[in-house]
Structure formats: C-alpha cells, structure tokens
Amino acid sequence: MSSSDPDSISAASVASVSKTYRQGSRSVDALRNVSLDVPRGRFVAVMGASGSGKSTLLHLMSGLTRPSSGEVQVDGQSIASLSDQQLTCFRRSRIGLVFQAFNLVPSLSARDNILFPLYAAGRSLESEGVLKELAEQLGIADRLHHLPDALSGGEQQRVAIARSLITNPAIVFADEPTGSLDSATGESICRLLRTLCDQQKRTIVMVTHEPSVAIWADSVVVLKDGAIVDQFPTQICGDAQSLAAKYQEIVTGVAAKLAETAG
Ligand SMILES: Nc1ncnc2c1ncn2[C@@H]1O[C@H](COP(=O)(O)OP(=O)(O)OP(=O)(O)O)[C@@H](O)[C@H]1O
C-alpha cells in the first residue's frame, strides 16, 4: 500500500496517551500510556471491565476531553493544536457520536434531530435527496416526522446514527450503542453498523461490554486498568461465545501475570 493511498491514512490515532482526572486531592489515572491506530474503513470494538477507561478513550478520540499527555489525531488533524473553539468546529464537522441513551432532543422531530449537527456546524442540507437516501438506508424513511417519544428504542437509535452521519464525518464513535436495547433490536443495530462499514466504508469505534456486540466489529481492543492489554481480529473467533472465551483468557492472563509480578 503506498503512503499516498488514502486507505493507508489513519482515521484516528492516539499515541502514548494518558489521562488523569483530578478531584480535589484525589486523582484517578483513567488511561496510562495508550497507543492505538484506527485505519479508515474499519470497525473497531473496545472492550473492558467497568472503570477500565473505555469511555475516557472514546472521549479523548472524539475531542470531548483532552489528554493529560500524549497525542490524539483524527482525520490527520492533531487535536492538541486546536483551540477549544476550533476543536468544537472540527468535532461538529468531522466526528459522529452515538450514545447508549440516544440523546435525541425530545421536542424536535426525527428529521430535525438528524439535521441538528448540520445547523450547529452552520451548514444546510445539500438536498432533500441526501436526507431521503440516509433515512432509507437506516430504515427510518417513514418515521422522519415523528417526535422521539413516538419512536421505538431501535428507531431512536437509528435516528441517532443518521444524525451522526449527516455531516459525513471521518469517523463515528459509538458508546454502548445497544446498551438500552433488547437483544433482537441490539442485533439489528449491530447489523446496521456492519453494513455502514462494508457498504459505505465508514470508520466506527464502538465501546461495548457484550461479546455478542463486539463480534460484529473487525477487531477488538481490550482495556484493563487504563491500559490496552491486547488487540485481536474478530475473524479468529467464529462466534460470540468464542470471542467471550478469548476476552476472558486475555483478562485472566493479564491478572495472573500481575499477581506473579507482585508476588
Ligand atoms: N470526569 C471524571 N472525573 C473523575 N474520575 C473519572 C471521570 N470520568 C471517569 N473517571 C474515572 O476514570 C476511570 C475510567 O472511567 P471510564 O468511564 O473511562 O471507564 P469505562 O471503562 O468506560 O467504565 P464503564 O464501563 O463503567 O462505563 C474510572 O475509575 C472512573 O471512575
């Protein structure tokens, strides 16, 4: 692959990133010296126990917080070199965000929720056809005039995914996108994310606890106590059960090694 090949450029990367949260005299090292590269067009799942630093990693890569040290790049842009205002503009135009709780504006129709990031970025809809195509791809074309309250959980998440894509971002970050959904609806959202990656070459980084969700990604990054302890392609796991076993093996192996070192 030549260096001028756009596919060889990372959609996002972090290099030697650490993040310490300070609350009064207490400090928490949420991430320690983490490096990660997300190539364009890839679907990456980030797994780890509660408190291992998954959301912090996502927030750093999406420019919602800044690292205590280290470098974050998205779409070739170093986030550290941007002022807060520039970072907000960059985030609005180049980064898509999907949350567990959907985070739709209750008083706005699905259509206006989807268009919200465009307006926030001072842009307007290129053509009705763009919205129509997106809504059709996401299976919500007949739901655009409904308020979020009148939509099912799965439909609300589809609207939230459409909202994350309307600016044509370089990368989409999804924090537990199926966490509020029943398993069948969750699976349909996973299938949709997979399709977006396969058919539109979207780059997706998704945090999840669930092996049955992570199996839809191309690769899994495992975090433990603020550090990346392993990464593996999902291809080596035939199914969610085998992925769960692999994940458990990694986490248990790391814990045993730590105990050995301490002993
Ligand atoms: N704003 C904050 N202020 C102080 N500590 C924080 C803050 N955000 C996260 N932490 C701490 O940093 C560590 C990592 O938190 P983070 O939310 O990234 O973990 P996580 O793996 O996403 O957890 P979960 O799966 O429970 O969401 C935890 O110890 C958490 O308590």
What pLDDT does residue 242 have? 97
52 Cα–ligand 1 center, Å: 7
Residue 223 β-bridge partners: 48, 228
Split at pLDDT 50, 70, 90, the class of 8 is: low
What pLDDT does residue 1 have? 40
DSSP state letters, 14-36: EEEEEEEEEETTEEEEEEEEEEE
The length of the chain is 263
| Percent of the chain surpassing pLDDT 70 | 96
Answer whether 119 contacts ligand 1 (Cβ < 6 A). no
56 Cα–ligand 1 center, Å: 6
Split at pLDDT 50, 70, 90, the class of 11 is: very high
ipTM of the complex: 0.97
- CATH superfamily of the 6-262 domain: P-loop containing nucleotide triphosphate hydrolases (3.40.50.300)
Per the model's pLDDT, the better-predicted residue between 31 and 200 turns out to be: 31
Answer whether 175 contacts ligand 1 (Cβ < 6 A). no
pTM: 0.92
Answer whether 30 contacts ligand 1 (Cβ < 6 A). yes
Q: Does 119 score more than 50 pLDDT? A: yes
Question: 39-70 pLDDT, tens per residue?
Answer: 999 999 999 999 999 999 999 999 999 999 99
Choosing from 54, 68, 206, 207 the residue with most ligand 1 atoms within 8 A of its CB, the one to mutate for a pocket test is 54
The one-letter code for the residue type at 17 is: V
What pLDDT does residue 17 have? 97
Q: Does 34 score more than 60 pLDDT? A: yes
Answer whether 261 contacts ligand 1 (Cβ < 6 A). no
For 23: left if phi > 0, alpha if psi spans -120 to 50, otherwise beta; the answer is: beta
